Structure 1
Amino acid sequence: MSTSRVLLTTEERGHFQCAIAKRDGRRCFYCGRNFKKRPMRRKTLDHYIPHRIWPGWDVDNLVLACEGCNVAKADALPWPLVWLLLAVYRPDGWELAA
């Protein structure tokens, strides 16, 4: 399986951004800043679960993020997801400290 990213056309990107804005509101998913009040803030599409782990353009895995938050997150798993995975999956002998 190839991990190269498929580039979206301007029309496809606009479609995704509109669908996600309708679902989540016109805010950065990470910092909550409003894109509507700050039209010059560059909004980007971000793969919530990094593209290298969940390749493709499934809307369920896309969020709107300001450019700074998207760059800061990079290819890291978001902490809420990490905590959820740790709570569900514990290899034998692992215990979480109280």
Structure 2
Amino acid sequence: MEERTFFQCVIAARDGRRCFYCARNFKPRPMRRKTLDHYIPHRVWPGWEVANLVLACERCNLAKGDALPWPLVWLLLAVFRQDEWELIA
């Protein structure tokens, strides 16, 4: 089995057979142009760990591009602000 196909099967078993971003189901044939997407962009977290991979339809993957996901940005800002307040106090 090709490595990409293996990752897609593992992630589909974990998350279901739908796009991570828009939650639309992939059609059984030809599976709605699904792609593997690095949730945290590859340039920030290089590698192919399953924890950082999600299935996305081609449209959502292209729309996200190389951006950090907003939930991650909010988490980073919350941690940064908390640390900043501890330094001031």
TM range, smaller chain: 0.7 to 0.9
Equivalent residues, number: 84
SS of the counterpart of 1:19? Answer: helix
Taking structure 1 as the reference length, the TM-score comes to 0.78
Taking structure 2 as the reference length, the TM-score comes to 0.86
- Answer 1 or 2: which has greater helix percent: 2
Residue in 2 that maps onto 1:27: 18
Q: Which runs of 5+ in 2 are unaligned?
A: none
Matched, 1:77 2:68: yes
Q: Within 5 A, what are the aligned runs for 1:57-96?
A: 57-90=48-81, 92=84
Residue in 2 that maps onto 1:17: 8
Identity %: 80
Runs of 4+ in 1 over 6 A off after TM superposition: none
Q: Which runs of 5+ in 1 are unaligned?
A: 1-9, 94-98
RMSD: 1.8
Q: Read off the aligned partner of 1:11 and give its amino acid letter.
A: E
Q: CA deviation at 1:87?
A: 1.2
In 2, Cα distance between equivalents of 1:82 and 1:38: 35
In 1, Cα distance between equivalents of 2:4 and 2:84: 44
Q: CA deviation at 1:37?
A: 5.9
